[in-house]
Amino acid sequence: MNQPARNIRSAQRPYRAKNSATLGDGWPDRRPQLEGIEMFDKQGLERQVKTASGPSGRLARWRAALMAGGVLTAVGFTLAGGAVAGEIKDEPRFKHRQDFSSLRDWNLKAENIIPHGANPLYYPIVPGHKHVHERPDHPDGKYRKETVVLDSTEDFDIAGIGKFKTAVVQEEEYIDGVLTQRALNWFALDKTTNSVYAFGEVSWEIDEGKPVFAGTWRAGELDGDVVAEPGLLMPGTFTVGGRYLFDGGSVNLGGSENMETGIEMTVPAGTFKNCVRVREQGLRELHDITDKIWCPVVGVVADTSDGKLIVSNALPKDNPAADVSSVGKLRDKPLKYTPPVAKVSGDQATKIALAEIPGKVTSVKIERKKGKNVYVVEIQTPKDGEKDVFVDIESGKIVGTD
């Protein structure tokens, strides 16, 4: 789930903050061949903030989404002929956390959680899977997101669930061929239902080719004042009207609703049938809405934020879009990191920022500013337009404004 991007004022502003906009037909016939990405160097990783003992706080939901940059204007899918057009102007259908199923409803048990497998409507969560989405009409330039399931796992031990392993799914985002952000997501399936869950993420912004730690969250660990919960990405059985939290944290809370089945969709990777539509909605920013079209075997083929599916090696080999040679090199091991501890919650940071600059808060996220990990609280003011207030995640002090 993403909010609209705006003019980037700093080279370090993450491009994961993409706005939803009409996805037109301006797709190139040929995909650019991008150079391989070198491994993070040790010195770059050592620049990350070191923390005291104790659990890490959930700093930001950077994927999938993931929320940044203004108020979302989402776009609806006009399904006839596979076109995409028109803003989603619907009022939020459900406004409260309790309107969506959550961890307490899912009966997750460690003995049933597996790192690799397949869901009928999700891409294969198996090592070596690759796919790419592109959005050439992104306001900041040609946007490209490469997704790779790495040949590695992440260990979890969550109270009430137990010990288990997750897959590590890498996402790399580019603007005009330049790598701007990398994230590692921790996904797993419940083998009894084939439902796909998210258990956390760690992300880096790429500044002049160097990784700068951006944020992390882990299910079962403190997220400000509460413990972060897993999110349900796709249920094993799709039922229209089904609702579930895809993000159970306190800073960014979001729910999904299964909207429609029987969709046929044409994108650069091909024409897909028996697809479904899922609407993701913020529960703090109620008009933060994203629609996604999910299709059997390949997963998302159209997303109002990330664009359309270009290539996937889940496709039949005789489909030219099965060629994923343009995707960056697969990494064998997850990146090392030492996430900071957030001692100030997102709500507390919001109150601190509003005391400094009154107005309407449009986004709260974590970024690296002035050598510190800070909440960036974006505020729309009546007279001066958009302002950013940087609140230190540990001390709660304002370290700057923009």
Phi/psi of residue 356, nearest 5 degrees: -85, -45
Regarding whether 351 and 314 lie in a shared domain, the answer is: no
- Cα torsion through 300, 304, 307, 313, rounded to 10: 0
Across the range 83-93, mean pLDDT stands at: 55
Residue type, position 94, single letter:
F
Across the range 24-35, mean pLDDT stands at: 29
Across the range 300-323, mean pLDDT stands at: 96
pLDDT of 325? 92
Residue closest to 311 by CA, chosen among 275, 269, 271: 269
Beta pairing, strands 130-135 & 253-267 = unpaired
Regarding whether 267 and 391 lie in a shared domain, the answer is: no
| Torsion over CA: 244, 246, 250, 251 (sign) | negative
Regarding whether 351 and 317 lie in a shared domain, the answer is: no
Place of tokens 């039949």: 316
The segment with the largest mean pLDDT, out of 71-85, 171-185, 302-316, is 302-316
Is residue 114 one of the residues assigned to a domain? yes
Lowest mean pLDDT among 75-79, 167-171, 237-241, 287-291: 75-79
- Inform me whether the pLDDT recorded for 134 exceeds 60: yes
Q: Which two tokens stand for residue 125?
A: 């969560």
Residue closest to 149 by CA, chosen among 330, 303, 307, 336: 330
pLDDT of 162? 97
The span from the CA of 86 to the CA of 181, in Å, is 29
68: which residues sit within 8 A by CB, 6+ positions away? 2, 3, 14, 16, 17, 363, 365
Is residue 12 one of the residues assigned to a domain? no
Regarding whether 384 and 313 lie in a shared domain, the answer is: no
Regarding whether 362 and 287 lie in a shared domain, the answer is: no
- Inform me whether the pLDDT recorded for 262 exceeds 90: yes
- Inform me whether the pLDDT recorded for 24 exceeds 90: no
pLDDT of 1? 44
Output 217 or 77, whichever has higher pLDDT.
217
Is residue 105 one of the residues assigned to a domain? yes
The span from the CA of 322 to the CA of 317, in Å, is 6
Residue type, position 329, single letter:
K
Is residue 78 one of the residues assigned to a domain? yes
pLDDT of 256? 93
Regarding whether 356 and 309 lie in a shared domain, the answer is: no
| Beta carbons of 30 and 313 less than 8 angstroms apart | no
The band of 88, judged by pLDDT with boundaries at 50, 70 and 90, is low
The span from the CA of 70 to the CA of 95, in Å, is 19
Across the range 193-200, mean pLDDT stands at: 95
Beta pairing, strands 243-248 & 231-234 = unpaired
Cβ-in-10-Å burial (0-12, 13-18, 19+) of 287 comes to middle
- Domain final residue pick, 285, 306, 322: 322
Q: Identify any residues that bridge with 133 across adjacent strands, giving them in sequence order.
A: 145, 309
CATH of the domain at 370: 3.10.450.40
The band of 250, judged by pLDDT with boundaries at 50, 70 and 90, is low
pLDDT of 274? 97
Regarding whether 198 and 305 lie in a shared domain, the answer is: yes
Q: Which two tokens stand for residue 127?
A: 């090592």
- Inform me whether the pLDDT recorded for 68 exceeds 80: no
Regarding whether 233 and 200 lie in a shared domain, the answer is: yes
Neighbours of 257 (CB within 10 A): 18
198: which residues sit within 8 A by CB, 6+ positions away? 63, 64, 185, 186, 187, 219, 230, 231, 232, 233, 246, 247
pLDDT of 370? 59
Place of tokens 């992440």: 154
| Angle (CA) 30 325 20, round 5° | 60
The band of 149, judged by pLDDT with boundaries at 50, 70 and 90, is very high
151: which residues sit within 8 A by CB, 6+ positions away? 127, 128, 330, 332
Regarding whether 234 and 148 lie in a shared domain, the answer is: yes
Regarding whether 355 and 304 lie in a shared domain, the answer is: no
Across the range 159-185, mean pLDDT stands at: 93
The span from the CA of 341 to the CA of 402, in Å, is 24
Q: Which two tokens stand for residue 204?
A: 């880096």
Helix (H, G, I), strand (E, B) or coil at 352: helix
Q: What is the domain extent for residue 375?
A: 346-401
Is residue 68 one of the residues assigned to a domain? yes
- Domain final residue pick, 287, 322, 357: 322
| Residue range 327-351, pLDDT digits in tens | 974 333 344 545 567 888 889 999 9
Is residue 300 one of the residues assigned to a domain? yes
- Domain final residue pick, 322, 354, 379: 322
Across the range 120-128, mean pLDDT stands at: 95
| Residue range 352-379, pLDDT digits in tens | 999 999 999 998 988 766 567 889 999 9
Residue closest to 308 by CA, chosen among 34, 72, 31: 31
pLDDT of 296? 97
Regarding whether 383 and 270 lie in a shared domain, the answer is: no
- Inform me whether the pLDDT recorded for 14 exceeds 50: no
Phi/psi of residue 347, nearest 5 degrees: -65, -40
The band of 137, judged by pLDDT with boundaries at 50, 70 and 90, is confident
Across the range 375-390, mean pLDDT stands at: 91
Q: Which two tokens stand for residue 346?
A: 């997102």
Is residue 357 one of the residues assigned to a domain? yes
Is residue 19 one of the residues assigned to a domain? no
pTM across the whole model? 0.65
Calculate the average pLDDT of the chain: 76
Across the range 15-20, mean pLDDT stands at: 34
Q: Which two tokens stand for residue 355?
A: 């005391």
- Inform me whether the pLDDT recorded for 309 exceeds 50: yes
Regarding whether 301 and 358 lie in a shared domain, the answer is: no
Neighbours of 124 (CB within 10 A): 19
pLDDT of 199? 94
pLDDT of 185? 94
The band of 180, judged by pLDDT with boundaries at 50, 70 and 90, is confident
Tally the domains of the chain: 2
178: which residues sit within 8 A by CB, 6+ positions away? none
pLDDT of 167? 98
